[in-house]
Amino acid sequence: MRIEEANIVASLPDLGVELQRGASLAELTSLGIGGTTDLLRIKKHESISGLLGLLDSNGVPHRFLGGGSNLLVDDGELPWVVLQLAQPNPDIVLDGNVAHVDAAADLGRTVTYCAKHDLGGMDGLIGVPGTVGGALRMNAGAYGMQIGSYVREVKLYRAAACQIEILKGEQISFEYRHTSFAPDDMMLAVKLELPSKPYKEILQGIRICNEKRRSSQPLGQKSAGCIFKNPPGASAGRMIDELGLKGLSVGDARVSDRHANFFVNAGKASAKDMLALVAGIRERVHRAFHVELEHEVVIWNA
Ligand code: EPU
């Protein structure tokens, strides 16, 4: 979608919003799949309300993009514009055991930065791609830890109330790959309270997790991490593997040979290919195990 309204375009500089015409979502997502639309990069949290008011009053549909690492976007010209927070500098400020982190900060860099200042707890999250905001929204986790455990406070834009709000950690429910945030809440910043731990010890933990990840996940390939959530007490990857479906392809969308819950874009996969593969595998798991796998990847259908 292209923003045609001159009044919107004219207001953007004052709002501190940068317009990128015809941005390719394939270039903004780790799967490398997705069509084109106008992209609005927001440099000031305070302008979100004004920007959304402007878009809504002109009937311009919009979606919020985080780091694009858990997202499958449709092909072609997309029927909504995309909003994304620009990364401020600095994006992490430490105050004792509390890290004030902007939602646009890279998660891996945040873990490393805190570790270098002897703040641990999030070692397992080191290889999880994406932004801190995206990790928060889905309560990203790995190797027995999840980001929600360390959240003291979240600053977000609550679209339903048209305002910025601060939520205390105890007001938010963090479950396995799920949170109580509303779908249109936009994460802006978070205060993480982290346990003190010497950098050397954290580094050891990070190395172990990295090693495990390298040996079991297709890190060099384009993917969105695990496609399905694990059903209670089971592993989606193991089930798909047991059915002998590693390597199954639709066009260039392919079940990874290394980890069966990772579906990779092995070349020029389209969203259509990837969606057909996801639906096909889900169906086969259902037939064999009577389990309805739930998507972990977020799907943006046009
Ligand atoms: N397994 C297989 N074949 C496979 C994949 C896994 O037999 O193709 C077996 C493994 O050998 C292991 C068991 O299944 O015995 C579990 O596998 P793994 O340790 O790789 O964990 P997972 O349950 O597949 C989860 C998370 C990952 C996270 C790892 C490590 C989900 C859906 N996946 O994977 O998170 O990195 O544990 O903590 O919760 C993600 O969310 O995107 C993600 C990659």
pTM of the entire structure?
A: 0.96
- pLDDT value for 77: 98
- 142 near 169, Cβ under 8 Å? no
Best probe residue, ligand 1, of 122, 222, 238 (max atoms within 8 Å of C-beta): 238
DSSP annotation of 196 reads B
C-alpha gyration radius of the chain: 20
For residue 196, the cross-strand partners are 119
Which pLDDT belongs to residue 157?
Answer: 96
User: Left, alpha or beta for 47 (phi > 0: left; psi -120 to 50: alpha)?
Assistant: alpha
pLDDT, position 63: 96
Q: Please report the pLDDT score of residue 27 as a whole number.
A: 98
Nearest CA to ligand 1 atom 15: 238
34 in contact with ligand 1, CB cutoff 6 A: no
In a mutational test of the pocket of ligand 1, which residue from 216, 239, 241 has the highest number of ligand atoms less than 8 Å from its CB?
Answer: 216
CA distances from 199 to 15, 129, 258, 265 (A): 40, 21, 31, 36
196-232 burial, b at 16+ Cβ within 10 Å, e below that, comes to ebebeebbebbeebeeebeeebbeebbbbbbbbbbee
Say if ligand 1 is within 6 A of residue 180 CB: no
Residue 19 makes CB contacts below 8 A (sequence gap 6+) with: 3, 9, 12, 38, 39, 40
- Ligand 1 atom nearest the C-alpha of 124 is 38
The pLDDT value recorded for residue 134 is 97
Cα(93) to centroid(ligand 1), Å: 33
Tell me what pLDDT residue 138 has: 96
Question: By C-alpha distance, which of 140, 141, 165, 138 is closest to 49?
Answer: 165
pLDDT of residue 264: 98
* Angstrom distance (rounded) from CA 36 to CA 53: 23
* 283 neighbors 248 (Cβ within 8 angstroms): no
CA distance 180 to 190: 15
Catalytic-residue membership of 226: yes
Amino acid letter at 273?
A: D
Q: What is the predicted pLDDT for the residue at 267? A: 97
177 included as an active-site residue? yes
pLDDT along the chain (302 residues), means of 10: 97 97 98 98 95 96 96 98 95 98 97 97 94 97 96 96 96 98 96 98 95 95 98 97 98 98 98 98 98 98 95
**Which pLDDT does position 265 carry in this prediction?**
98
pLDDT of the residue at 225 = 97
